[in-house]
């Protein structure tokens, strides 16, 4: 399960849904694009403090992963990676499911929050698609 989770991080990186490094991750969180801010288990106290500063007053969720910097770096392709930001809600939801399976008690609350955000995003997509279809076919609202 650990390998599957790390492979998902590499897939997110290739799909451009993962901002790697303190500078890129911080910019994603401050810009409101990040859904999750991930920290390595052996991240320095300085990096943890920066992550708290990035998350203060923001809508992103901060997590400490059960992986070291070297494990994350090997799968992401960036050396010394201690911080990363997930910018896609679908990937964030998939990652949270894998983390809950990996260590059930630790990530359940955050997984519930991400699942709720994912379902809201899916509902909005479905409503936008129906709206576009209604605009094309000429369906109108009726007031009864």
Residue 144 falls inside a structural domain: no
CA–CA separation, 134 and 14 (whole Å):
36
41 part of a folded domain: yes
Does residue 115 belong to any structural domain of this protein? Answer: yes
What is the pairing mode between strands 83-86 and 18-20? antiparallel
Band of pLDDT at residue 140, cut at 50, 70 and 90: low
Mean pLDDT of 89-118: 91
Write out the residue range of the structural domain in which residue 72 sits: 2-137
Question: Residue 110 to residues 18, 23, 64, 66, 89: CA-CA distances in angstroms?
Answer: 18, 24, 11, 15, 13
Report the C-alpha gap between 64 and 139 in whole angstroms.
Answer: 49
Please tell me the total count of domains within the chain: 1
Domain contains 143: no
| CATH code of the domain covering residue 47 | 3.30.1330.30
pTM tops 0.75, yes or no = yes
Give the rounded percent of residues in the chain with a pLDDT score beyond 90: 65
């Amino acid at each position: 399960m650990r390998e599957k989770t790390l492979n998902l991080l590499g897939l997110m990186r290739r799909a451009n849904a993962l901002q790697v490094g303190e500078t890129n991750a911080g910019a994603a969180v401050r810009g409101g694009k990040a859904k999750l801010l991930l920290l390595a288990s052996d991240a320095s106290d300085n990096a943890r403090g920066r992550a708290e500063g990035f998350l203060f007053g923001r809508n992103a969720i901060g997590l400490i992963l059960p992986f070291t910097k070297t494990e994350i770096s090997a799968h992401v392709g960036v050396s010394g990676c201690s911080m990363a930001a997930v910018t896609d809600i679908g990937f964030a939801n998939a990652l949270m499911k894998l983390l809950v399976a990996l260590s059930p008690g630790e990530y359940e609350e955050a997984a519930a929050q991400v699942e709720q955000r994912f379902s809201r995003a899916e509902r909005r997509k479905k409503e936008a698609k129906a709206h576009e279809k209604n605009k094309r076919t000429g369906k109108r609202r009726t007031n009864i």
